[in-house]
Amino acid sequence: MADSTMTNAKPLPIYRRAVFTISGAHFLNDLVTTGMVPALVVLYKQAFQLNYTQSTLIVLVSYITSSVAQPLFGMFTDRHPRVWWFTIGVFLSITGLALSGIAPSLPWLLLFVGISGLGSGAFHPEASRGTHLASGGKKGLAQAIFQVGGNTGQAVGPLMIPLFLVHTGIKGLVWFLPVAILSLLYTGQLLRWLNRSVKETSKSQMQLQGENNLTGVILLSAIIILRSWCQIGVVVFLPFYLHHLSIQASETLNFVFVGAGALGTFIGGMWSDRLGLKRLLLVSMFVATPFAILFPYLSGFLSYVDLLLFGFSVLSSFSVTVVYMQKLLPKNIALASGLSIGFGVGAGGIGSIFMGSLSDWLGVSIVFGLLSILPLLGGIIAIFLPSDRSRALTAH
């Protein structure tokens, strides 16, 4: 298979085998990090007899190492590409989680969770770079396939608790060690292609790359943070806001929101290749606004429909912002991934802590009202983004 980077004549076709393999690795990685670790806090708390502060420390360590650290990994790999981080990253993320099942104390537990998080942090920039190289002229579609793999892992992760770990306890996590070993074989098949593609791209396209657009990066980062606050805020606070409903009913609404978002991520990525990145981003934010504002005033079947359309629209720009950031940072593709994926998720997690304090002060209803206007603010900021059709962003 030839290198799937852009040529002067026309883009090469998408390298589907690479894209779907990387997406599968993304599924495995996010299954254990963003999917299982937050859901495991209840079991960790029971097994180690932790208080609430110690329990939330586990999530904080996971967020810092797996999400907030991603831009740092990205900056390093842009200067010194380490394609093997793609393979070793997934291995460490799964291994760290597996070892946490036999941790003898809280410090050891935090260490293993940190190792798992660092593996995830190292994986994402190289995996996103690989998707970029394999995408040919289908940047949006390739990133959508990649992101759907991660979204599916996040959705499946919590299901492992009632289906498996409730019966085995946290010691059952050691059964993920064979999965970690198999992941080396699964991801290792792409290393030769990745290494060759990175070298060929460095040699043939260094002269063709455009300049980084720092103003655009700041604006797009602000939009990503607002969207992440909205997404995570809805997931965290929806059960508290709908306190009159049963836990099962509120969690079903949450599943509708997250599931619709995963579908929106995929379809939005496909549409962006035709509509353009900025146009899709604007439509996503402004269309999501009325659904967000209307939700508190609806009930029953209409609330399900509204939340489905809200999740679909607001998250249809997820893979779009990754590609957009890569266009704004053509000299730093891995850093672009770290900012658009890791930093955004990490900022959302940190934002949820702030919103929790605000809820204690003003009440959940006020906070949920504030969440509903975040897409509108994101849409207004998006107006000032540089056009992705401009020569400055397409030179590379």
Q: Is residue 284 a contact partner of residue 316, using CB atoms and an 8 Å limit?
A: yes
CA atoms of 333 and 328, how far apart (whole Å): 9
Residue 241 has pLDDT above 80, yes or no: no
pTM of the model: 0.76
Contacts of 104 (CB under 8 A, 6+ apart): none
Average pLDDT, the chain: 82
Q: What is the DSSP string of 222-233?
A: HHHHHHHHHHHH
Strand partners, 11: 6
| Confidence band of 100 (pLDDT split at 50, 70, 90) | very high
Question: Residue length, the chain?
Answer: 396
What confidence score (pLDDT) does residue 7 get?
Answer: 39
Once rounded to an integer, what is the mean pLDDT over residues 85-112? 94
Q: What is the pLDDT of residues 69-93, one digit of tens each?
A: 888 888 888 777 788 899 999 999 9
| Residue 9 tokens, joined | 């004549």
| Confidence band of 240 (pLDDT split at 50, 70, 90) | low
| Residue 117 tokens, joined | 């998080």
Return the top range by mean pLDDT from 153-167, 364-378, 380-394.
364-378
Q: What region, left, alpha or beta, does residue 181 occupy, with left being phi > 0 and alpha being psi -120 to 50 degrees?
A: alpha
CA atoms of 59 and 295, how far apart (whole Å): 29
Q: What percent of the chain has pLDDT over 70?
A: 86
Residue 145 has pLDDT above 80, yes or no: yes
Alpha carbon dihedral 203, 124, 265, 309, in 10-degree steps, equals -150
Range 48-66 burial, b when 16+ CB lie within 10 A, else e: bebeeebbebbbebbbbbb
Residue with the bigger pLDDT between 225 and 342: it is: 225
Amino acid residing at 285: M
Between CA 1 and CA 391, with CA 194 as vertex, the angle to 5 degrees is 85
Alpha helices in the chain (DSSP H): 16-30, 37-48, 52-63, 70-79, 85-100, 106-134, 139-156, 160, 166-168, 177-188, 191-205, 214-241, 247-275, 277-294, 301-315, 318-328, 333-337, 344-362, 364-382, 391-394
| Residue 161 tokens, joined | 């608790």
Q: What is the pLDDT of residues 12-47, one digit of tens each?
A: 788 889 999 999 999 999 988 887 887 787 788 888
Q: What is the pLDDT of residues 285-311, one digit of tens each?
A: 999 999 988 887 877 788 889 889 998
Domains of the chain, CATH where assigned: 16-205 (1.20.1250.20), 214-394 (1.20.1250.20)
Residue with the bigger pLDDT between 391 and 94: it is: 94
| Confidence band of 259 (pLDDT split at 50, 70, 90) | confident
